């Protein structure tokens, strides 16, 4: 594994281009575009204000920079650096901005979710979509970019609108039997839309592309319900993570639950491999420590390296008891992710925050548990193979694959707390983001299957 | 004797049974009890006996008082006590269950309260959020109203960008709308078709598996037809008919690959039937096995069991006999080996003596034979010597006679005719002598050889005789030669 030098970053805004050639990162109000292989600065753009959101267009030709405070969106062209485009929402304000799948329209969500403005870069025309729902995931595009599903709320009732992205024709509009629609997501095959209710009610609705209700699923009532949802890449399974610390898997044929994965605090099954992150013992030479301590020395003192160790079952995991009288408790399945080959599902149970659970989907059983010293912040699967990269806020990046797992220290002077990470589409490199720094990590793929 | 814990003499009532409410934990020896039972009266005690008893029963003579107790009443009282204890236990159990139920209910109530409280907090939070938003809206609206000449939303773009697919944008018309609908349905249809294909493949595989299962089940069940079981015959009958049906079905299915309702139903029904038959068969086998383990069994099993028992008895007898034999042999061996050293050595000596005697006898026999042989040899050698001597003498005599004859012949040379005959007679006689001489030793030798075939002395003898005969021959030859000229 090779690590690049460290670059400045703000707001953890760094994205690879969809074609994998470029890396865009934000430093305050500047947009820096680098070449991925050489990390040379190719373009440098300056925006009018601090950038809050950064997004590549699907064809990797344009980059969108949104500045919510000013209500501005600026679009930059990679091919023609002198080309510029500025969209001002004015008094309407701006809370969200995204590209359409064709890379020629920008959808701005105005403040208070009053409307969505669709700006066309081709025709300079504007379209409005009224009453969008202010929820966790209100817009979803199909994988092929043909259709868009939008959650709406009118007169205290939830609706879903399906649009054809090519000409923004409203294809279907139907109401949903939800109390408070929290999110919608297309299946990867683009034929089924999953809609789920807020956590006050456990309900998942499945709609066909033509707007028919296919099925409804509700596991229980009264207790807090769905927290996260994930489709498997083949569209065969829908994983529902809920506040009762369980993941329920629905199958695409009958839309009924085939199994549920419980996240218990003790693991007794000896067939499950449990990796525990342990600190490597350091030899401190107390006499040679300089006074006052240099930054490097201080960081080396506090930044102890760690490695994975296999622990034999029964294992009892570290739990954090959530405060029950606060809203949005840190309990239940907070993160769900399928591996690209459909073989594994990685989950995090928020009240066992240090552990990542990896489930074998072929056998529908728990496969591996990785317990870390700090709370897991994020993890992401390699887009090409079943390899999971995790970060916990320490200066290490953790990798797991069927062959084993490894904890790699980011060899940076000073403190580099990896807060999030992002894979390159080829699976050969990864961007590690800390609070104000960016580091690229290159993986050698010869030894890894 | 026993340990006394508590002795409470009951306050007597009119009932004679109450005498048995006598609680004591005495451990008495059985013999003692027995004696006491003998002593005690079997008549029910009267009231005065109670009084008498009360007065009578003290700590010192508790044993005696017990003897006056009626055993029957004691039994009944004991039974009552047991009954009461049982009831007590049951009630305690019920009590525990109720406690448990109560605890469960309490837990559930607590849980529900927790849920309610968390819901309430979430509701409140959402409500507060909504209120804040509402307030902001109100403010913004207020601002808008105040600032009508605000910046308009606008897009400032250098030049329009071409579409991603390079085509020109089209107006949205009814045609385009229809086209969009069509496309959407096409997508859905293709997805359904793909899924249907997958499902068909799966279906075909499952059907194959079911048919295989059915065939295997049929093959499992048909051998049972040979056993004389009533039900099995029916089942095998149905099996056969099923087989016929199914094969025709199978062929049908394979040919047409029908997946219609009736065919599917038939297949599932036939499989269910087979499965039921197999299940009943297995259950029967299980029952049989369990019955064999227990006592009662069918007629067939009786015989086999009896046979089995007989066989085992026989074998046991055999084993017994063998054991006895081994024992006796062991005893005998022990007899032999269990004597003292002297007798054993004596015995051994006896054996040796016996052998020695036998050997000596043989040796004596051998010696005798040897002696005889020696004697014979000697006699033969003597005979041979004598014979030799005699022959010598005879030869000498003959030589002398021949000389004399010769002399007489020469003197009678004139009288040839007379000597002619004697010459010839002499030659004849000499020939005869030769002949006889030749024959004699041969006779002798033959005699000798006949009597003593293989002794070395015999061969020596023979050699000497030959030698002598050779000498004689030579002599004769010489003599004859002498005579010849």
Render pLDDT for A78-128 as a digit per residue (tens, 0 to 9): 998 899 999 998 878 899 999 999 999 999 998 888 889 999 988 888 888
Cα–Cα distance between A392 and A345 in angstroms, integer? 19
Residue B228 is predicted with a pLDDT of 44
Kindly determine whether residue A124 and residue B165, on different chains, have CB atoms separated by under 8 Å. no
Assess contact for A442 and A428: CB atoms under 8 A. yes
Flag if B164 and A112 touch (Cβ within 8 Å).
Answer: no
From the candidates A74, A119, A121, A197, which should be mutated to test the interface with B, based on the most B CB atoms within 10 A?
A121
**Residue B233: HSE in the Cβ half-sphere, 13 Å Cα cutoff:** 4
Q: Cis (ω within 30 of 0) for the bond into B350?
A: no
What's the Cα-to-Cα distance from B341 to each of B334, B337, B338, B351, B352, rounded to whole Å?
14, 10, 9, 15, 16
Q: Which among A122, A146, A164 has the least Cβ separation from residue B161?
A: A122
Among partner residues B153, B158, B172, which is closest to A92 by beta-carbon distance? B153
Which residues of chain A lie closer than 8 angstroms to B161, CB-CB? 62, 77, 104, 121-122
Tokens representing A18 are 């969809």
Cβ neighbours of B121 in A, within 8 Å: 325-327
What is the reported pLDDT for A321?
Answer: 86
Indicate yes or no: CB of A167 within 8 angstroms of CB of B172: yes
- CB neighbours of residue B175 within 10 Å: 10
Q: Which helix (H) or strand (E) holds B313?
A: helix B299-337
The residue count of chain B comes to 485
The strand pair at B154-157 and A246-251 is best described as unpaired
d(CA B375, CA B366): 14
Q: Is B29 helix (H, G, I), strand (E, B) or coil?
A: coil
Distance linking the first and last C-alpha atoms of chain A: 15
- With a pLDDT cut of 90, the percent of chain A lying above it is 69
Q: Which chain B positions have a beta carbon within 8 Å of A90's beta carbon?
A: 150-154
In order, the DSSP letters of A347-368 are EEETTSTTEEEEEETTTTEEEE
Partner-chain contact B157 A102, CB within 8 Å: no
Which residues make beta-bridge pairs with A74? A65, A86
Tell if the CB–CB gap between A123 and B160 is shorter than 8 Å. yes
Under DSSP, is residue B257 helix (H, G, I), strand (E, B) or coil? coil
- Nearest residue on chain B to A188, alpha-carbon basis: B191
Cβ <8 Å between A84 and B158 = yes
Q: What is the pLDDT of residue B422?
A: 45
Provide the pLDDT confidence category of residue A302 given band limits of 50, 70 and 90: low
> Touching check for B110 and chain A: CB below 8 Å?
no
Tokens of B174: 């009814």
Least confident of A60-64, A270-274, B58-62, B134-138: B58-62
Cα–Cα distance list, A228 to A137, A340, A388 (Å): 11, 18, 19
| Whether the Cβ atoms of residue B204 and residue B212 lie closer than 8 Å to each other | no
Query: What pLDDT, on a 0 to 100 scale, did the predictor assign at position B371?
Result: 93
For the ranges A29-43, A47-61, B112-126, the lowest mean pLDDT is seen at B112-126
Question: Of A55, A85, A51, whose CA–CA distance to A67 is shortest?
Answer: A51
Does B191 contact A90 at a Cβ distance shorter than 8 Å?
Answer: no
- Residue B244 has a CB neighbour count (10 Å cut-off) of 10
CB contact under 8 A, A121 and B153: no
Calculate how close chain A gets to B99, using CA atoms only, in Å. Answer: 27
Residues of chain A positioned with their CB less than 8 A from the CB of B110: none
The secondary structure of B163-213 as a DSSP string is PTTSPPP----HHHHHHHHHHHHHHHHHHHHHHHHHHHHHHHHHHHHHHHH
CB contact under 8 A, B164 and A103: yes
Cα–Cα dist B481/A228, whole Å:
156
Cα nearest neighbour of A87 on chain B:
B155
Nearest to A88 among B122, B125, B154 (CB): B154
Is the separation of the CB atoms in A408 and A399 below 8 Å? yes
Alpha carbon distance A84, A322 (integer Å)? 49
Distance from CA of B104 to the nearest CA of A (A): 19
* Average pLDDT estimate for A285-293: 56
d(CA A162, CA A191): 12
Q: Does B118 contact A164 at a Cβ distance shorter than 8 Å?
A: no
CA dist B378 and B374 (Å) reads: 6
Question: Could you tell me whether strands A126-130 and A115-120 are parallel, antiparallel, or unpaired per DSSP bridges?
Answer: antiparallel
Q: Residue A25 pairs with which residues in a beta bridge?
A: A14, A32
- Which of left, alpha, beta for B172 (phi over 0: left; psi -120 to 50: alpha)? beta
Cβ atoms < 10 Å from Cβ of B467: 11
Using a CB–CB cutoff of 8 Å, tell me whether B293 touches chain A.
Answer: no
Q: Are A214 and A208 in contact (CB under 8 A)?
A: yes
Measured between beta carbons, which residues in chain B are less than 8 angstroms from residue A235? Answer: none
Contact A121 B161 (CB under 8 A): yes
CA–CA distance, A84 with B123 (Å, rounded to integer): 46
Structure tokens that stand for B282 in this block: 């297995």
The verdict on ipTM greater than 0.85 is: no
Tell me the count of A-B CB pairs closer than 8 A: 129
pLDDT of residue A113: 85
> Touching check for B450 and chain A: CB below 8 Å?
no
Three-state DSSP state, B377: helix
Contact B115 A199 (CB under 8 A): no
Give the C-alpha separation, A81 to A20, whole Å.
19
Environment class of B181 (CB within 10 Å of its CB; exposed 0-12, middle 13-18, buried 19+): middle
Residue A242 has pLDDT above 60, yes or no: yes
Q: Assign B485 to helix, strand or coil.
A: coil
What CA–CA distance (Å, rounded) separates A258 from A238?
10
Residue B473: which residues within 8 A CB-CB, separation 6 or more? B437, B438
With an 8 Å Cβ cutoff, are B183 and A324 in contact? no
Q: Which of A86, A112, A169 sits opposite B180 (nearest CB)?
A: A169
Look at B119 and A200 and tell me if their CB atoms are within 8 Å.
yes
3-state secondary structure of B100: helix
Would you say A207 and A195 are in contact if contact means Cβ atoms under 8 Å apart?
yes
B166 near A CB under 8 A: no
Q: Which residues pair with B464 in a beta bridge?
A: none
> Is A430 in contact with A443 (CB distance < 8 Å)?
yes
Determine whether the interchain pair B184/A117 forms a contact, defined as Cβ–Cβ distance below 8 Å: no
Residue range A195-214: mean pLDDT, rounded: 94
Among A175, A161, A159, A156, residue whose Cα is nearest residue A128: A161
Specify the CATH number of the domain A10-130. Answer: 2.130.10.10
Strands (E), A137-282: 139-141, 147-154, 157-164, 169-175, 181-186, 192-197, 204-208, 213-217, 226-231, 237-242, 246-251, 257-262, 266-267, 273-279
Per the CB < 8 Å rule, is A124 touching B160? yes
- Nearest residue to A257 (alpha-carbon basis) of A227, A223, A221, A215: A215
Tens of pLDDT along A414-442? 888 999 999 999 999 999 999 999 999 99
Cβ distance of B155 and A200 shorter than 8 Å: no
Q: Which of A142, A222, A251 to mutate to test the interface with B (most CBs of B within 10 A)?
A: A222
Q: How far is CA B282 from CA A237, B218, B286, in A?
A: 40, 14, 6
Give the pLDDT confidence score for residue B249 in this predicted structure: 52
What's the pLDDT score for residue B215? 87
CB contact under 8 A, A90 and B151: yes
Beta strand pairing call for A2-8 and A429-433: unpaired
How far apart are the CA of B118 and the nearest CA of chain A, in angstroms?
6
Question: What is the token pair recorded at B402?
Answer: 């021949």
Q: What is the pLDDT, as a whole number, of residue B247?
A: 52
Interface of B with A in 118-157 (CB under 8 A): 118-119, 121-126, 133, 136-137, 140, 143-144, 147, 150-157
Q: Do A210 and B185 touch (CB under 8 A)?
A: yes
Handedness of CA B116, B122, B128, B131 (dihedral sign): negative
The reported pTM is 0.64
- Partners of B180 on chain A (C-beta within 8 Å) are 164, 166-167, 169, 171
Say which DSSP state B340 is in: -
Using alpha carbons only, what angle is made at residue B188 by residues B183 and B191, rounded to the nearest 5 degrees? 125
**Long-range residue pairs from A214-217, CB within 8 A, at least 24 positions apart, any chain:** A214/A255, A215/A254, A215/A255, A216/A177, A217/A248, A217/A250, A217/A255, A217/A256, A217/A257
Q: Of the candidates B147, B156, B160, which has its C-beta nearest A86's C-beta?
A: B156
Residue A327: which of B121, B172, B185 has the nearest Cβ? B121
Average pLDDT per 10 consecutive residues for chain B, totaling 485 residues: 46 45 44 46 48 62 72 91 96 96 95 88 85 80 66 75 71 84 92 92 90 86 56 45 51 53 82 87 89 65 73 93 93 78 73 88 92 92 91 91 87 55 45 45 44 50 58 53 46
Residue of chain A nearest B195, judged by CA positions = A253
């Amino acid at each position: 594994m090779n690590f690049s030098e460290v670059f400045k970053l703000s707001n953890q805004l760094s994205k690879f281009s969809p074609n994998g050639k470029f890396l865009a990162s934000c430093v305050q109000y500047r947009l820096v575009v680098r070449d991925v292989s050489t990390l040379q600065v190719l373009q440098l753009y300056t925006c009018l204000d601090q950038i809050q959101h950064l997004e590549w267009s699907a064809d990797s030709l344009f980059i969108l920079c949104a500045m919510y405070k000013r209500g501005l969106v600026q679009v930059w062209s990679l091919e023609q650096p002198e080309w510029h485009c500025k969209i001002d929402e004015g008094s309407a304000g701006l809370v969200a901005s995204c590209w359409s799948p064709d890379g020629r329209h920008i959808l701005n969500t105005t403040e208070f979710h009053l409307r969505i403005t669709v700006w066309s870069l081709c025709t300079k025309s504007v379209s409005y979509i009224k009453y969008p729902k202010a929820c966790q995931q209100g817009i979803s595009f199909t994988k092929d970019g043909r259709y868009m599903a939008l959650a709406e709320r009118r007169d205290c009732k939830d609706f879903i609108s399906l649009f054809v992205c090519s000409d923004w024709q409203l294809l279907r509009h139907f109401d949903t039997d939800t109390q408070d629609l929290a999110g919608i997501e297309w299946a990867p095959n683009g034929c089924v839309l999953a809609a789920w209710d807020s956590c006050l009610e456990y309900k998942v609705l499945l709609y066909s592309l033509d707007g028919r209700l296919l099925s409804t699923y509700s596991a229980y009532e009264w207790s807090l319900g769905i927290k996260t949802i994930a489709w498997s890449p083949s569209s065969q399974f829908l994983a529902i993570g809920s506040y009762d610390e369980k993941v329920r898997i629905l199958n695409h044929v009958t839309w009924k639950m085939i199994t549920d994965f419980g996240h218990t605090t003790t693991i007794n099954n000896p067939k499950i491999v449990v990796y525990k992150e342990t600190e490597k013992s350091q030899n401190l030479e107390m006499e040679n420590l300089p006074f006052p301590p240099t930054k490097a020395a201080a960081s080396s003192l506090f930044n102890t390296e760690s490695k994975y160790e296999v622990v034999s079952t029964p294992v009892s995991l570290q739990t954090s008891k959530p405060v029950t009288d606060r809203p949005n408790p840190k309990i239940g399945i907070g993160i769900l992710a399928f591996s690209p080959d459909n073989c594994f599902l990685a989950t995090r149970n928020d009240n066992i925050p240090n552990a990542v659970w990896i489930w074998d989907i072929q056998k529908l059983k728990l496969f591996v548990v990785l317990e870390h010293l700090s709370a897991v912040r994020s993890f992401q699967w390699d887009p090409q193979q079943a390899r999971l990269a995790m970060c916990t806020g320490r200066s290490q990046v953790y990798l797991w694959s069927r062959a084993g797992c490894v904890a790699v220290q980011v060899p940076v002077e000073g403190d580099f707390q990896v807060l999030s990470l992002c894979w390159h589409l080829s699976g050969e490199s990864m961007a590690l983001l800390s609070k104000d720094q960016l580091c690229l990590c290159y993986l050698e793929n010869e030894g890894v299957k | 004797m026993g340990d006394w814990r508590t002795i409470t003499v009951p306050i007597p009532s009119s009932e004679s049974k109450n005498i048995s409410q006598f609680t004591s934990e005495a451990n008495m020896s059985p013999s003692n009890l027995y004696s006491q039972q003998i002593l005690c009266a079997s008549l029910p005690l009267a009231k005065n006996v109670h009084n008498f008893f009360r007065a009578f029963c003290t700590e010192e003579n508790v044993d005696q008082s017990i003897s006056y107790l009626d055993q029957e009443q004691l039994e009944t009282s004991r039974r009552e006590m047991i009954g009461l204890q049982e009831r007590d236990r049951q009630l305690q159990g019920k009590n525990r269950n109720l406690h448990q139920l109560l605890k469960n209910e309490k837990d559930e109530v607590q849980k529900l309260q927790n849920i309610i409280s968390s819901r309430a907090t979430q509701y409140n939070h959402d409500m507060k959020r909504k209120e804040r938003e509402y307030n902001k809206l109100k403010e913004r609206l207020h601002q808008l109203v105040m600032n009508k000449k605000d910046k308009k939303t606008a897009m400032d773009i250098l030049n329009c960008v071409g579409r991603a697919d390079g085509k020109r944008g089209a107006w949205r018309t009814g045609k385009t709308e229809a086209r969009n609908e069509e496309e959407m349905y096409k997508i859905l249809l293709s997805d359904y078709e793909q899924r249907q294909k997958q499902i068909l493949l799966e279906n075909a595989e499952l059907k194959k598996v079911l048919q295989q299962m059915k065939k295997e089940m049929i093959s499992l069940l048909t051998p049972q037809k040979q056993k004389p079981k009533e039900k099995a015959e029916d089942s095998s009958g149905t099996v056969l008919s099923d087989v016929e049906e199914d094969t025709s079905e199978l062929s049908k299915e394979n040919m047409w690959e029908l997946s219609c309702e009736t065919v599917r139903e038939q297949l599932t029904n036939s499989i269910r039937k087979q499965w039921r038959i197999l299940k009943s068969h297995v259950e029967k086998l299980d029952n049989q096995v369990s019955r064999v383990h227990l006592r009662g069994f069918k007629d067939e099993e009786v015989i086999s069991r009896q046979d089995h028992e007989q066989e085992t008895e026989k074998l046991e007898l055999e084993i017994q006999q063998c054991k006895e034999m081994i024992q006796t042999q062991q005893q005998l061996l022990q007899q032999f080996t269990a004597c003292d050293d002297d007798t054993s050595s004596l015995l051994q000596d006896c054996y040796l003596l016996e052998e020695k005697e036998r050997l000596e006898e043989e040796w004596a026999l051998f010696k005798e034979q040897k002696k005889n042989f020696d004697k014979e040899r000697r006699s033969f050698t003597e005979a041979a010597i004598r014979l030799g001597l005699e022959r010598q003498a005879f030869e000498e005599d003959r030589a002398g006679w021949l000389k004399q004859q010769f002399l007489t012949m020469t003197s009678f040379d004139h009288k040839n005719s007379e000597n002619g005959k004697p010459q010839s007679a002499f030659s004849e006689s000499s020939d005869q002598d030769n002949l006889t001489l030749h024959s004699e030793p041969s006779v002798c030798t033959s005699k000798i050889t006949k009597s003593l075939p293989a002794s070395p002395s015999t061969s020596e003898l023979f050699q000497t005789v030959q030698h002598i005969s050779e000498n004689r021959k030579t002599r004769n030859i010489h003599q004859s030669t002498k005579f010849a000229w």
